[in-house]
Amino acid sequence: MAYEIEPATDENSAAPQPGRGVTHVEVTVDDAGTRLDNFLVRQLQDVPRTHVFRLLRKGEVRVNKKRARPDQRVALGDVVRIPPVRKAEDVPPPATPRAASESLQKLVLDSITYEDGDLIVCNKPPGLAVHGGSATDFGLIEALRSARPGQPDLELVHRLDRDTSGCLLVAKRRAALRDLHRQLREGQTEKHYLALVCGKWNLGTKRIELALDTDERRSGERHVAVRAHGKKSVSTFKPVQFFGNLATLLEVEIDTGKTHQIRVHAAHAGHPVAGDVKYGNRIFNDIFKDYGLKRMFLHSSSLGFTRPGTREPMLASAPLPPELGAVLDTLTRGRARAPQDERGRTLKPGGARGPVVAPRVQRPASMAQTGKPRMGNSRNDKRGAAKGPGPVRGEGRRKARTTAGR
């Protein structure tokens, strides 16, 4: 590994902080294909992880003299510029060592469905982030490391959204991580999800290929959008079960693994995922609550790959959580119907332009409620007047002729 420390007078770097100057690290065969954030964590083992991720967010890390994204994968021969950082001993320690709680560690350990010398398969619980960040200090990987202090090389193979449950792979060795990452990059894996979407899916088996921009921010929050300059993403949707015109259970296979990919593709097709607060439909989500749905209905059901270091095929799977199965049972027993506006028109759950909000139609109050004649269509008024008490037909004309004669 080429490793060089630049002098503190480097005009292209910030003023060095105590402990370490600007460094340039050349990527070797062992690190080729690794995500940049994981690469930095390994290089800066004596630096707090929070500080490493802060350097990435601020764009202070360069790859081949260019700004780089945290999820960018480094290649053999790339030169990574690491700005001045502080060693762990230079940072005042907290009053009490921070670690994942025992309850969180137990939750993660109980989610393990398979384990061997190379990897761990977890059935990730919903509501648990896969790693810590600005919103939470500890995710699944931090809790697993706390529970397994003797396994320092535990790393996430891929990621799932916080509200998504299901199959998640964790590598126990760096060689296994590189092998699995290569399979993901080269499309040698099969990732299947189960998703309940709003409305009746009439598109059959549908392959959706769109470019997604994952860097868009709205009110400081990441929001993925379909953009021509985005990265290619491919999802194939296949209907499994229909629940009237209210919902459809789909099996989704993804060829790529972009952030929020299934959720954005489903919403773009006009059928957002049930319970999705960010890309979904508020009116439909409120109805699904009556059927017992308390979170987004998206579950990673299986992941097929080749066992690291061998050519043996392997299929990791995770059963559907009981609470989601109960929602399907309730939908089957009930008369699932899509919401309607006050004119009786069926609402559509969404489309390419985003979620559809039900129009607010104010029905005029009747005469029985207000004591006043109902204002509305003149045609309806005439029809209503004919039914109520009033002069006999033609009586008004006869009365007018009689008055004129006088």
- Looking at the DSSP bridge assignments, the partners of residue 346 are 340
Q: CA–CA separation, 267 vs 248, rounded Å?
A: 13
Q: Would you call 179 a catalytic residue per the annotation?
A: no
Q: CA–CA separation, 81 vs 64, rounded Å?
A: 8
Interior CA angle at 303 toward 299 and 307, to 5°? Answer: 155
| DSSP category for residue 404 | H
Both tokens of 54, joined, read 């802060």
* Contact predicate 86/275, CB 8 Å: no
**Distance from the Cα of residue 207 to its chain's centroid:** 19
Q: How many CB atoms lie within 10 A of CB 146?
A: 17
Q: CA–CA separation, 339 vs 88, rounded Å?
A: 56
Torsion angle, alpha carbons of 259, 265, 270, 272, to 10: -40
Hey, CA dihedral for 15, 20, 26, 29, is it positive or negative? Answer: negative
Query: Strand pairing of 298-306 and 165-171?
Result: parallel
| DSSP category for residue 225 | E
**Distance from the Cα of residue 299 to its chain's centroid:** 11
Q: CA–CA separation, 180 vs 187, rounded Å?
A: 11
Marked catalytic residue, from 31, 161, 179, 276: 161
CA atoms within 13 A of residue 254's CA, in its CB half-sphere: 27
Q: Which of 240, 237, 271, 243 is nearest to 255 (CA)?
A: 237
What residues are labeled active site? 161
